Amino acid sequence: MRVTEAGEPSRRKALWLMGAAGLAALSADGVRQSAKAPHADAPRTPSPPGPRPRAIIHPKPTPSPRAPSWSPNQHVTAVKPKTPIRDLSELVPAPPPKTIALTIDDGPSPLYTPKVLDILAENEIHATFFIIGEQVKEFPKTTRRIADAGHQVCNHTMTHPLSLGHLSTKQVRKEIVEAHDRIAQVTGIVPTFFRAPGGNWSKATMDTIAEHGMLPIDWAVDPRDWSRPGVGHIRRTLLTAKAGNILLCHDGGGDRSQTMASLKTVIPKLKKRGLTFVAL
């Protein structure tokens, strides 16, 4: 049976339904891996008296937008909502001076997203994650960890088609809406920002995200870390960032060890310049 982030749901559910005896079996499972299971027709030992174990319920919050970090009580708009945003000054209200935004694309990744989150936590900053619907479906726990840490979660399509700008309106709508709904269901956050894979925009894309209350986000600083050009190149490019810039990095889509190594030194250096990181 395939094991995912959720573990072994069918086995655990079966043991839970058996009551306390099932829980005891589950607890002893790691100790007696080689024990032979009883025959299906063998009589079952009745559960001892006492309260039945109760399932742990994790209610999902009603999905709602998450306001940007600099404007917690106000939804932002754009000076030119039909033009992809490359600088924070194009948002209304704009963030304070000397702010920059770090955006992370193509996750969540079970390997690299936790490492990014650790780096961000160590430096006490928040970032903006443009996540892929299929990845959200595959790794819901990692997705929720992003949101629970206070970072912004945004729409990056369902399957990350680099040809998005050339797809039919129906296909574009499917890519955007399915990801939109998936992210909201898993995190409880309704995405308010969208990024087209590869920056491949089209009228159909712009119209669809506008219908769902999202703004188009591009970038100003791109180290092309997805191509693995080397830690030095990624670091030097990111350090060219100026106030108002939107930085682009990746935590999914392949080996992102170079990105991790770069962020560990870049973030502290940019902070020492007096720049403040904000989440969209």
Decide: 85 and 246 in contact? Cβ < 8 Å: yes
Can you tell me whether residue 233 is helix, strand or coil? helix
- Pick the closest to residue 279 from 144, 63, 145, 102 (CA basis): 102
Give the chain's radius of gyration (CA, Å): 23
Kindly state the helix (H) or strand (E) to which residue 137 belongs, with its residue range: helix 133-138
Catalytic residue among 87, 105, 218, 225, which?
A: 105
Catalytic residue among 180, 218, 250, 251, which?
A: 250
The answer to whether 250 is a known catalytic residue is yes
The answer to whether 105 is a known catalytic residue is yes
Encoded amino acid at 98, one letter:
K
DSSP letter for each residue of 25-70? HHHHTTT-TTPPPPPTTSPPPPPPSSPPP-----PPPPPEE---TT
CA-CA distance, 277 to 69, in Å (whole number)?
A: 10
Residues with catalytic annotation? 105, 250
